[in-house]
Amino acid sequence: MKKQGQIDSMNFGSFDFEHLFDSDDYIIETVKSIGIFKPKRWSETFGKPITKNNIEAKIVHTSMGLTLALKRYASAKDVQVLEFAGLYGYDEKSRILRSLLIELLPKLSEDYLKRIDICFDYPTRIPNRIIKTICQSGRVPFPFKNTIYYKTPSENKTNSVMDLKVYDKQIESNLPYPMKRLEFVFKGKYLNKLKLKDIDKIYPKMIKSIDKFSGINAQIIPIS
């Protein structure tokens, strides 16, 4: 039986995303730009600091109470990155976020995918056979806060291709029941300038990678 993999996060790249939010339903708050730096606002909103390689950072506030991260990086100054994080959760916020993304998908079809997170949830614990397969693939556990990253011996602190991690979803989302999450984070070099309109082309490759590193016979459920 195939294990369903859900899309939990999607990042998009374009020269300008702000035209998407040019209505009374949205407010764009600049927290880092020329002459502006309000790191506390960013950490209060997203629970993590602005990284040094972010040369611009903005918060998109929606009328439904959502907040989206909008960034530019020093390595690609002309490209804005729009983040949809937490698409597959167990609360109303995730449902509203998915609805917003579905509404915007037609307008994002020509934009590049910069990151896709595929998650697998398990009650109580990740099966031992999966952890064993991950370790046999040459990855070793690297605990950091609430997360265990599985990294190759040659991997640096950051990986521009793929991250593999396990964390306690119950703690992360304050759930009333135990839940562990295994997550594959496919990044820019893996996606290789893939446009949203062509996303179906990458699913077979992702499924093979998931099987290779974890032994999971996966099925990826598209956002729809």
Rounded Cα distance between 131 and 182, Å, is 10
| Residue 156's pLDDT band (cuts 50, 70, 90) | confident
% of the chain beyond a pLDDT of 90: 92
Residue 11 clears pLDDT 80, i.e. is over it: yes
pLDDT of residue 153: 84
For the beta carbon of residue 134, count every other beta carbon within 10 angstroms: 21
Residue 155 clears pLDDT 90, i.e. is over it: no
| Residue 1's pLDDT band (cuts 50, 70, 90) | confident
54-62 vs 36-37, strand pairing mode: unpaired
Largest separation between any pair of C-alpha atoms in the chain: 55
Q: Give residue-wise pLDDT tens across range 72-104.
A: 999 899 999 999 999 999 999 999 999 999 999
Q: CA 127, 128, 129, 132 torsion: positive or negative?
A: positive
Nearest to 108 by CA among 35, 39, 182, 19: 19
Rounded Cα distance between 79 and 12, Å, is 10
Helix (H, G, I), strand (E, B) or coil at 2: coil
218-221 vs 3-14, strand pairing mode: parallel
Q: One-letter amino acid identity for 220?
A: I
Rounded Cα distance between 212 and 224, Å, is 27
Rounded Cα distance between 208 and 224, Å, is 23
pLDDT of residue 117: 98
Cβ 20 vs Cβ 6: under 8 Å: no
pLDDT of residue 86: 96
Nearest to 121 by CA among 96, 91, 89, 95: 89
The model's pTM: 0.95
Cβ 195 vs Cβ 111: under 8 Å: yes
Mean pLDDT of 46-58: 94
Average pLDDT, the chain: 95
Q: What residue ranges do the domains of the chain occupy?
A: 3-221
